[in-house]
Structure formats: C-alpha cells, structure tokens
Amino acid sequence: MARPRSQEAHERVLLTALDLFGTRGIDATSMDAVAHASGVSKATIYNHWANKKALLLDVMLMLHGLNRDAEEVDTGDICRDLATVLSRRPPDQFDAARDRIMPALVAYSAVHREFGEAWRHRVMEPGRQCLKRILRRGIERKLLPATLDLDAAMALLLGPLLYMKIFHDGARSQDIGAKVAAAFWRAHATAGSTPAPAKARRSSAK
C-alpha cells in the first residue's frame, strides 16, 4: 500500500533537513532553505513543526531510532534485559550523518539551552528510564539489593559506554553492553541469583 502523501512529505523534509544541517550547519539552515530543497511548501512544513528547533529535534530522534515508541524489555532475566538495552544501537543507515552532525549539535545545544534540555529529555532520558525500570524490577524480585543506589548504578552502567564512544571506534565497542551488564550483575546481584549469561542478546534499532 502506498504511503499517504503527508507521510512522504514528512519524511522528505526530515531527510532534507538532516542533509542541510550536516552540510551547511544548523544556524545557517533556514526553514525556507529546507522547503526549497525538499520541494515541500513552507506552509506544510509549519503544519508539522512549529519552528526549526522542533524540526531539528525530530531529525535527532530519527537519527537515533527514537521516532517510535521504545520496546519494553522484560524477559525475566534482569542481566539479559540490561544487556539488551545497553547494546541497542541507532540505525546503521545514519551512522555517517550522525558523525557529521553531532559536533554541530553539541555546539548548538550549548548556545540554545532550551533545545539542549529538550534533546536530553527526548533523546537521552528514555534509555535511562528504561534501565531504571529494569533495576527496580530486579530489586522488587530480590535479585538486586534493596539498598542499591540507582544513580550510582546508572553511572556504572552508562560510564563505560561513554568511554568507548569517546576513545574507541564503533567496531571495538559493539559488545560492550553485554560485558558491562555481566560485570554489573556479578558485582551487585544478591546471593543465589542466577549467574549472568555469557552472552546477551543484542538489539538494534533499524
């Protein structure tokens, strides 16, 4: 079945904006430029996005595979669930585009604090909240100690991923999620809990 024209226009604007933001820069890209390059009228664009910041945020959600509801993970194995979330990767098709636009996005967020907060809330927070829900299930099921500090646990789980992102290329960091989950489980699981699996399922947003 053919997609509705409004959906096609929506996707065309997102892809065009992504290209312009990455090549011209965010500040140098106007809504007029997006309309001209995409062939979608400015009136139609403003029916979908109130302003350039809203469009930029939707571009970032698309880049990270977050433009749809995140799948909840509850297999009954807390370690495996942690590994699944930590191993999630954004769509491979946008790898080059993410590398190109991220430096500009960081700089833009530093100047436009309101956008930076929206980016953190929409792009970064869902994954953190998903991990916290898994940890809380582990505590409720007495597989993790009731005294577990959730904020410290988040730092332990996410810190290695940030380190690998900064200091190693993607190929070397592909399995880090499963390794981090297993190390966390060995350190914090209550006595008698099922041992951490040697390998955890890897999930990829595509």
Q: What percent of the chain has pLDDT over 90?
A: 50
| CATH number of the domain that residue 110 is part of | 1.10.357.10
Same domain, 34 and 83: no
Between residues 126 and 184, the one the model is more confident about: 184
SS (H, E, C) the chain: CCCCHHHHHHHHHHHHHHHHHHHHCCCCCCHHHHHHHHCCCHHHHHHHCCCHHHHHHHHHHHHCCCCCCCCCCCCCCHHHHHHHHHCCECCHHHHHHHHHHHHHHHHHHHHCHHHHHHHHHHHHHHHHHHHHHHHHHHHHCCCCCCCCCHHHHHHHHHHHHHHHHHHCCHHHHCCHHHHHHHHHHHHHCCCCCCCCCCCCCCCECC
Widest distance between CA atoms in the chain:
63
Same domain, 106 and 22: no
Residue 171 pLDDT > 80: no
The reported pLDDT for the residue numbered 70 is 60
Residue 150 pLDDT > 90: yes
pTM of the model: 0.73
The verdict on residue 67 lying in a domain is no
Give the whole-angstrom CA distance, residue 181 versus residue 43: 48
For 75-119, write each residue's pLDDT tens digit: 999 999 999 999 888 778 888 888 888 888 888 888 998 888 988
State which residues form the domain around 165.
78-188
30-34, 84-88, 126-130, 161-165 — which is least confidently predicted?
Answer: 161-165
The reported pLDDT for the residue numbered 11 is 92
The verdict on residue 193 lying in a domain is no
7-11, 66-70, 157-161, 197-201 — which is least confidently predicted?
Answer: 197-201
Same domain, 184 and 87: yes
| CATH number of the domain that residue 28 is part of | 1.10.10.60
Same domain, 83 and 183: yes
Give the number of domains in the chain. 2
- Can you read off the two tokens belonging to residue 176? 């880090």
The verdict on residue 151 lying in a domain is yes
For 8-52, write each residue's pLDDT tens digit: 899 999 999 999 998 898 999 999 999 999 999 999 999 999 999
Same domain, 121 and 177: yes
Q: pLDDT averaged over the chain? A: 85
Local confidence band at 122 (pLDDT 50, 70, 90 cut-offs)? confident
- Residue 112 backbone class (left: φ over 0; alpha: ψ -120 to 50; beta: rest): beta
Same domain, 25 and 84: no
Same domain, 99 and 182: yes
Strand partners, 89: 204
Report the amino acid identity of residue 150. Answer: L
